[in-house]
């Protein structure tokens, strides 16, 4: 069953322009990049009217509800009323609606100025509510939301995703880091609440330059040989890219599902932008969190000093291109056993 998110947005006539389309686009981008995007459904209601809350919450069961728009200093949320002009929804009206129709909702996001008053009441019934304690600029609101959803869509907790959103504001030099607030229902721990389960890391990611094709083929042969023993090692490398697919997105999905990374080291690999720009940093971050184990295989004489990979002891001390076929086969067999042992230990955890 898919996790459903309801996104309502309202920018009534005369209330000042908000970049709600950019905000929604940013959320959809993070959803497309998510390794578990097939498990999430985003339902958007634009030019939201007050009754859209009743219509949407009666029609489907949502895990999360997000409202973006204007808020008043009195705590009301501005919706689109008759003839497109603003129609406020009071604090009590929204609280009562969510109390009656909350269903599976564990998280409400009110990306609107002065929405903290709404959040205080809503948090009496909903586990987690994120709101703004004063006015917030468009750029800051979108920066916070994109970082928040990026974390949420990769299985991070509500607490962690909220903290990442605030960190993004500080990293970008924005002065609104104090504006978003997370309110939690009494007795609830936001660090234990997730929108989706973290993706299971049970695959192998292989980084290899196109100039080293013969070495990649040899590795494929050894990995595939384990099928004859009834052992399947699910791996990904650049040969698995889908024609017409989004290259960076496919690489990211493969990285976030990998428990093992095999790096076929050569000067050509470090000349590849795919590796240096998109793969190396996520791999190092995942290794630092003990989420992935990195095996470096030296294909040719290339020093790892200054690459941030010197911390990982290579599988082989002499480069493969300096070894005869028999020695190379021994290295491939040793590597394959190391990979299988790592994956087996991961399954048993």
Q: Decide if pLDDT at 20 tops 70.
A: yes
Q: How far apart are CA 300 and CA 321, in angstroms?
A: 6
Q: Is 177 helix (H, G, I), strand (E, B) or coil?
A: coil
Two structure tokens written together for 232? 């399947």
Do 3-192 and 203-348 share a fold? Answer: yes
Q: Decide if pLDDT at 158 tops 70.
A: yes
Q: How far apart are CA 94 and CA 152, in angstroms?
A: 24
pLDDT-derived band at 199 (thresholds 50, 70, 90) equals low
Q: How far apart are CA 4 and CA 60, in angstroms?
A: 8
pLDDT-derived band at 337 (thresholds 50, 70, 90) equals very high
pLDDT-derived band at 232 (thresholds 50, 70, 90) equals confident
Strand partners, 225: none
Residues 6 or more apart whose Cβ sits within 8 Å of residue 86 = 12, 13, 14, 15, 70, 78, 79, 80
C-alpha closest to that of 275 among 340, 212, 334: 212
Name the region of 300 (left: φ>0; alpha: ψ -120 to 50; beta: rest).
Answer: beta
Instruction: Report domain extents, the chain.
Output: 3-192, 203-348
- pTM for this predicted structure: 0.66
- Mean local confidence (pLDDT), 143-169: 93
Strand partners, 265: 298
Under CATH, which number does the domain 203-348 receive? Answer: 3.40.50.10140
Q: Decide if pLDDT at 201 tops 80.
A: no
Q: Is 87 helix (H, G, I), strand (E, B) or coil?
A: strand
For residues 264 and 216, the answer to whether their CB atoms sit within 8 Å is: yes
pLDDT-derived band at 347 (thresholds 50, 70, 90) equals low
Q: How far apart are CA 345 and CA 201, in angstroms?
A: 12
For residues 67 and 107, the answer to whether their CB atoms sit within 8 Å is: no
Q: Each residue of 18-48: b (16+ CB within 10 Å) or e?
A: bbbeebbebbeebbebbbbbeebbbeebeeb
- Determine how β-strand 3-10 pairs with β-strand 40-45: parallel
Determine the pLDDT at residue 60.
Answer: 95
Sheet holding 203-207, edge to edge: 235-236, 203-207, 258-265, 293-298
Residue 277: Cβ within 10 Å count? 10
Residues 6 or more apart whose Cβ sits within 8 Å of residue 297 = 215, 219, 262, 263, 264, 265, 314, 315, 316, 320, 331, 335
- Determine how β-strand 203-207 pairs with β-strand 235-236: parallel
Two structure tokens written together for 201? 């890391």
| CA geometry: angle 290, 297, 275, nearest 5 deg | 70
Which CATH architecture is the domain 3-192 placed in?
Answer: 3-Layer(aba) Sandwich (3.40)
* pLDDT tens for each residue of 60-104: 999 999 999 999 988 899 999 988 999 999 989 999 999 999 999
Which residue is it, tokens 């094709």?
213
Determine the pLDDT at residue 274.
Answer: 86
C-alpha closest to that of 110 among 73, 150, 141: 141
pLDDT-derived band at 327 (thresholds 50, 70, 90) equals very high
- Mean local confidence (pLDDT), 251-270: 91
For residues 190 and 248, the answer to whether their CB atoms sit within 8 Å is: no
Average pLDDT, rounded, for the chain: 91
């Amino acid at each position: 069953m898919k996790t459903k998110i309801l996104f309502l947005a309202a920018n009534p006539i005369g209330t000042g322009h908000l970049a709600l389309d950019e905000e929604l686009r940013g959320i959809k981008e993070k959803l497309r990049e998510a390794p578990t995007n097939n498990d999430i459904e985003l339902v958007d209601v634009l030019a939201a009217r007050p009754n859209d809350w009743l219509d949407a919450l009666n029609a489907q069961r949502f895990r999360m509800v997000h409202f973006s728009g204007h808020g008043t200093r009195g705590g009301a949320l501005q919706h689109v009323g008759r003839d497109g002009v603003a129609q406020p929804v009071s604090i009590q009206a929204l609280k009562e609606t969510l109390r009656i129709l909350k269903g599976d909702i564990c998280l409400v996001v009110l990306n609107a100025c002065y929405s903290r008053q709404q959040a205080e009441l809503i948090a009496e019934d909903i586990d987690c509510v994120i709101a703004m304690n004063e006015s917030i600029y468009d750029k800051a609101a979108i920066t916070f939301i994109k970082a928040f959803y990026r974390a949420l869509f990769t299985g991070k907790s509500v607490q962690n995703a909220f903290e990442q959103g605030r960190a993004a504001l500080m990293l970008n030099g924005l002065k609104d880091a104090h504006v978003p607030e997370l309110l939690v229902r009494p007795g609830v721990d936001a660090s234990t609440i997730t929108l989706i389960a973290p993706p299971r890391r049970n695959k192998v990611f292989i980084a290899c330059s196109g100039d080293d094709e013969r070495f990649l083929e040899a590795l494929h042969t050894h990995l595939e040989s384990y099928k004859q023993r009834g052992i399947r090692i699910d791996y990904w490398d650049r040969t698995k890219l889908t024609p017409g697919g989004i290259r960076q997105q496919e690489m990211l999905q493969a990285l976030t599902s990998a428990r093992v990374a095999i790096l076929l080291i050569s000067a050509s690999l470090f000349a590849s932008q795919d590796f240096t720009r998109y793969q190396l940093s996520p791999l190092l971050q995942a290794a630092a969190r003990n989420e992935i184990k990195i095996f470096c295989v030296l294909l040719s004489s290339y020093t790892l000093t200054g690459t941030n990979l010197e911390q990982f002891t290579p599988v082989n001390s002499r480069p493969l291109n300096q070894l005869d076929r028999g020695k190379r086969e021994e290295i491939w067999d040793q590597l394959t056993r190391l990979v299988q042992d790592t994956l087996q230990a991961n399954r048993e955890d």
